[in-house]
Structure 1
Amino acid sequence: MSHTSREKAKLIARVRRIKGQLEGIERALEADAACVEVLRQIASVRGAVSGLTAEVMEDHLREHVLAPSSDLERHQGGEEMIEVIRAYMK
């Protein structure tokens, strides 16, 4: 996936921020933080993961559905996206 390679540093930075947020939830749980604080942190992680997912999905659509070099590649890119959306919606 050449498009993820081009954006690798940005995507890895996002994943590392999410990892830090998850570690924050772990620390909050270990410290017996108020449940509302833990819930806020969980909501933040969910939003961050959703944002990352949307970005990678958008990149896939642009690279493999909107701008492929052949109709076969376009069809394959579309089918892959359908697969991912079905998994995401479960």
Structure 2
Amino acid sequence: MASQTKSVLLSRLRTIEGHVRGILRMVEADAYCPEVLAQAMAVQSAVDRFSLELLEHHLGTCFITAVRGDSEQERERALREILNIFEASAKLKRTRLPQPATGDDGVPENQRTCRTGPSGLVA
């Protein structure tokens, strides 16, 4: 991997790591759920940007080299890898959130731990 590309990717990962640590501190401090969720979505967006940059690098280097090469077996392997990446991505998008567990009173457990938000309403 070219040093400039590697540097950019490592920088993105360090930013993501710092952001995740911030979310960890927010959860430890019982921060307001929507604020934590906003930060989690920002991390997801950063991970998506990292993934896209890495995919772009791979397509422009390793993949294109394999596809242009003389080995049919290597071309097929490279194509299978890319297809597997897209299949895995599609599966992630179809993943559904689990239903929250409820207590004896029927109140979802996840609603018992939410704090009062900035507006004074309980989340």
Superposition deviation, residue 37 in structure 1: 0.6
Please provide the CA RMSD for this pair.
Answer: 1.7
Higher helix residue share: 1
Aligned to 2:82: 81
Q: TM-score, normalised by structure 1?
A: 0.81
TM-score norm. by structure 2 comes to 0.61
**Hey, what does 1:46 align to over in structure 2?**
44
Structure 1 Cα separation of the partners of residues 36 and 18 of structure 2: 14
Q: How many residues get paired?
A: 86
Greater C-alpha Rg: 2
Map Cα deviations across residues 31-90 of structure 1 (whole Å, 9 max, x no partner): 111111101000000000011111111111122344554153444322211112212222
User: Mind listing any 5+ residue stretches in structure 1 that lack a counterpart?
Assistant: none
Give 5+ residue unaligned stretches, structure 2: 92-123
CA contact (8 A) 1:64 1:78 kept: no
